[in-house]
A and B are shown apart, each in its own frame.
Chain A
Amino acid sequence: MRIAVLFPELLGTYGDGGNGRILEQRLRLRGLAVDRMDVAVDQTVPTQADLYVLGGGEDSAQLAALERLTNGQALARAVESGAAVFAVCAGLQILGTELPGADAVPVAGLGLLDLSTVRGEPRAVGEVLATPNPAGPLIQTLSGYENHGGRTHLGSAATSLATVSIGIGNGTADRAEGAVQGRIVATYLHGPALARNPELADHVLGLVAGPLQPLDLPQVTALRAHRLRLPTPPP
């Protein structure tokens, strides 16, 4: 499996670089071969990876990443030929049809997810708990941390990943969190998301690798137990 982590210097502000490392390690710990590459800002985006990973980033960094992905369309071509994508926060917004550009003027996203994002107040900052969409592949409660100023509306081709019980998520009235469309999975959750949600990590890997044997990591189980019983700390 080839995993490409896109522009970690731009899309890794909230520790999301950890997602690429977690995906890689969860394959290695099962004895499977994996080749992870971090694609730097001035490098060409490969079209041959099986799984692409995008994280969150600041506004100017997000637009710089979008510009690089729009030019060349490598990610779009890879998705067309069956690659999977896991995207977080700014990464989620980039994959949609529209997002806030400089001075909040809307700009076109990559259009790989049927969703659009506008700026919204107040900024969504804090712990999140979310129940997976019953029509989706996940069962376990999602835990994470959000820090964004976007409101994301899903179109008919995308479904939500989960429904928030604590937190803002996509920021729409239906309390939707994240998006799933084809082999693309996207979320607003940091933490990083895959550190706290191993079922989500294995689902993303399984999109490419097929069914995986269970991986019992007591440290991860302990962290989940701790985060899931959390009363959100007061601000």
Chain B
Amino acid sequence: MKVAPGALEELAAGRQVAIVSGTNGKTTTTTMLRAALETGGPVASNAAGSNMPAGLLAALMSPPMTGACVLEVDEAYLPGLLPVLAPAVVALLNLSRDQLDRHHEVSRLAGRWRQGLADHPPHVIVANADDPLVMWAASGSAAPVVWVAGGMPWSQDAALCPRCAQALRFGDGDGWACSACELRRPDCAWTFDEAAARSADGRRVPLALALPGRANRCNATMALAAADALGRDVDAAGAALSRVGEVQGRYARHRIGSTDVRLLLAKNPAGWVEALEVLGTDGPPVVLEVNDGSADGRDPSWLWDVPFEQLAGRPVVATGSRGLDLSVRLLYAGVEHRVAPSALAAVSATGSDQVEYVGNYTAFQSLRAELARGV
């Protein structure tokens, strides 16, 4: 579908548009922000994750066609869409390697963000201060920035200062700083811990999230900060977004045969690091599925960036169109495993009544579709 020039601009005009972008967490943060804003009535959104112009058009044409609209935007499309959507708030989550056959270089993407945000400043930016590429992109804009201490469990794409290309230093707790120039992590307006988000001006908002893991507490805090920037009541927003229990099938539990399976989605090394954190060090058997569809990126070399060593000692079954690449990765990681021809066969091969499933994008989507058809 081709989007007519001007159509997005026309539909977005006069509305309070909130944009969510970044490599990971877009769909979840969008869903949470929509839930937070819906405390004031229905809000349009492309919460299904269709984040390129056609999906944005569909969202803007869905009811309610007035008022606030929360849009997840593909990170490569973000710079070009800023002047079109004229957003009230832009939430920038993180930037890391993903689909390198399409994006090639993540630092270039950060540079394009910076240029776009400088040329077309939104009303306000909410940005993860712990990600140096995001900080660099946001700090070039004339827009005020609400910094969030979002955390940075994956720093392999931030070895060098985005301004001067000298080494960045990551401290324990006090963030990062360039070893040569004055670029450093800014002080944050929002932080979070296991139980709550806190603002620098002394507000504490409980985060009793239905969703698991550190990454989702980060997503929640980003959504909360964005709702706050739009003038919403943070306590009502926090309560609403805490109730988000399933995001497009992520973390949903399904019955497959006699097995209870929890579905996790992980699309790139940073996402897999977060997924492995949710799996923990012991627990039920794990099924891993990796495909190489065009939406996944054609090259699964990134499997070697993921610390699969953490799964050693746990029953693991590998599958997917690149299940054999995964198998070799697990072999050299010292993780005993089997290979199965499909996700369903893999679940059954565990012989367990409980399974954790992690798949990349097309793997996850095709398993969901299969489950929706009934197996």
Q: A195-B325, A223-B324 are in contact. Are A18 and B301 (CB under 8 A)?
A: yes
Chain A residues whose C-beta falls within 8 Å of the C-beta of B65 in the assembled complex: none
Say how far B47's CB is from chain A's closest CB, in angstroms.
Answer: 30
Q: A10-B159, A123-B104 are in contact. Are A222 and B331 (CB under 8 A)?
A: no
Q: A21-B304, A61-B159, A223-B324 are in contact. Are A126 and B332 (CB under 8 A)?
A: no
A192 touches B331 (CB 8 A): no
Q: Verify if A219 is at the interface (C-beta below 8 Å from B).
A: yes
Q: A123-B104, A192-B304 are in contact. Are A9 and B156 (CB under 8 A)?
A: yes
Q: A13-B100, A195-B304 are in contact. Are A18 and B329 (CB under 8 A)?
A: yes
Q: Which residue of B lies closest to A146 (CB)?
A: B299
Q: Verify if B160 is at the interface (C-beta below 8 Å from A).
A: yes
Proximity string of chain A (123-153) to chain B, C-beta cutoff 8 Å, 1 when within and 0 when not:
1011100000000000000000101000000
B292 touches A233 (CB 8 A): yes
Chain B 318-338 interface residues, beta-carbon cutoff 8 Å to A? 324-325, 327-329, 331-334
- Determine the distance from Cα of A235 to Cα of B99 in the docked complex, in whole angstroms: 13
Chain B 277-322 interface residues, beta-carbon cutoff 8 Å to A? 292, 294, 298-305
- Determine the distance from Cα of A145 to Cα of B305 in the docked complex, in whole angstroms: 16
Say how far B277's CB is from chain A's closest CB, in angstroms.
Answer: 20
Say how far B77's CB is from chain A's closest CB, in angstroms.
Answer: 19
B107 touches A60 (CB 8 A): yes
A-B contact pairs, 6 of them (CB 8 A): A9-B155, A13-B157, A16-B301, A125-B101, A147-B100, A223-B328
B304 touches A147 (CB 8 A): no
A145 touches B299 (CB 8 A): yes
A58 touches B107 (CB 8 A): yes
Q: Verify if A32 is at the interface (C-beta below 8 Å from B).
A: no
Q: Verify if B167 is at the interface (C-beta below 8 Å from A).
A: yes
- Determine the distance from Cα of A217 to Cα of B301 in the docked complex, in whole angstroms: 19
- Determine the distance from Cα of A73 to Cα of B114 in the docked complex, in whole angstroms: 36
- Determine the distance from Cα of A7 to Cα of B165 in the docked complex, in whole angstroms: 14
Q: A10-B160, A12-B156, A21-B304 are in contact. Are A60 and B165 (CB under 8 A)?
A: yes
The 8 Å CB contact of B331, one of A8, A16, A64, A217, is A217
The size of the chain A interface, using a CB distance under 8 A, is: 40
Q: Verify if A103 is at the interface (C-beta below 8 Å from B).
A: no
- Determine the distance from Cα of A63 to Cα of B155 in the docked complex, in whole angstroms: 19
Say how far A196's CB is from chain B's closest CB, in angstroms.
Answer: 8
Q: Verify if B368 is at the interface (C-beta below 8 Å from A).
A: no
- Determine the distance from Cα of A94 to Cα of B360 in the docked complex, in whole angstroms: 33
- Determine the distance from Cα of A223 to Cα of B332 in the docked complex, in whole angstroms: 13
Chain A 188-235 interface residues, beta-carbon cutoff 8 Å to B? 190-192, 195, 217, 219-220, 222-223, 226, 233, 235
- Determine the distance from Cα of A7 to Cα of B156 in the docked complex, in whole angstroms: 11
Q: Which residue of B lies closest to A9 (CB)?
A: B159
Say how far B357's CB is from chain A's closest CB, in angstroms.
Answer: 21
B101 touches A219 (CB 8 A): no
Q: A145-B299, A222-B327 are in contact. Are A60 and B304 (CB under 8 A)?
A: no
B179 touches A42 (CB 8 A): yes
Chain A 87-126 interface residues, beta-carbon cutoff 8 Å to B? 123, 125-126
Q: Which residue of B lies closest to A68 (CB)?
A: B167
The 8 Å CB contact of B304, one of A15, A64, A217, is A15
Q: A12-B156, A42-B167, A145-B299 are in contact. Are A195 and B329 (CB under 8 A)?
A: yes
Chain A residues whose C-beta falls within 8 Å of the C-beta of B105 in the assembled complex: 13, 58-59
The 8 Å CB contact of B299, one of A64, A147, A219, A226, is A147
Q: Verify if B106 is at the interface (C-beta below 8 Å from A).
A: yes
- Determine the distance from Cα of A134 to Cα of B156 in the docked complex, in whole angstroms: 38
Chain B residues whose C-beta falls within 8 Å of the C-beta of A63 in the assembled complex: 165
Q: Verify if B214 is at the interface (C-beta below 8 Å from A).
A: no
Q: Which residue of B lies closest to A190 (CB)?
A: B301
A15 touches B104 (CB 8 A): no
A7, A15, A125, A226: residue with the most chain B Cβ atoms closer than 10 Å: A15
Q: Verify if A17 is at the interface (C-beta below 8 Å from B).
A: yes
Say how far B177's CB is from chain A's closest CB, in angstroms.
Answer: 13
Say how far A179's CB is from chain B's closest CB, in angstroms.
Answer: 21
Chain A residues whose C-beta falls within 8 Å of the C-beta of B157 in the assembled complex: 13
Chain B residues whose C-beta falls within 8 Å of the C-beta of A59 in the assembled complex: 105
The 8 Å CB contact of A126, one of B298, B301, B331, is B298
A192 touches B165 (CB 8 A): no
Q: Verify if A25 is at the interface (C-beta below 8 Å from B).
A: yes
- Determine the distance from Cα of A229 to Cα of B300 in the docked complex, in whole angstroms: 17
Q: Verify if B97 is at the interface (C-beta below 8 Å from A).
A: yes
Q: A14-B301, A17-B305, A147-B299 are in contact. Are A219 and B331 (CB under 8 A)?
A: yes
Q: Verify if A22 is at the interface (C-beta below 8 Å from B).
A: yes
The 8 Å CB contact of A64, one of B108, B160, B169, is B160
Q: Verify if A37 is at the interface (C-beta below 8 Å from B).
A: no
Proximity string of chain B (145-171) to chain A, C-beta cutoff 8 Å, 1 when within and 0 when not:
000000000011101100001110100
- Determine the distance from Cα of A123 to Cα of B38 in the docked complex, in whole angstroms: 46
The 8 Å CB contact of B301, one of A21, A191, A222, is A191
B301 touches A41 (CB 8 A): no
Chain A residues whose C-beta falls within 8 Å of the C-beta of B294 in the assembled complex: 235
- Determine the distance from Cα of A222 to Cα of B318 in the docked complex, in whole angstroms: 13
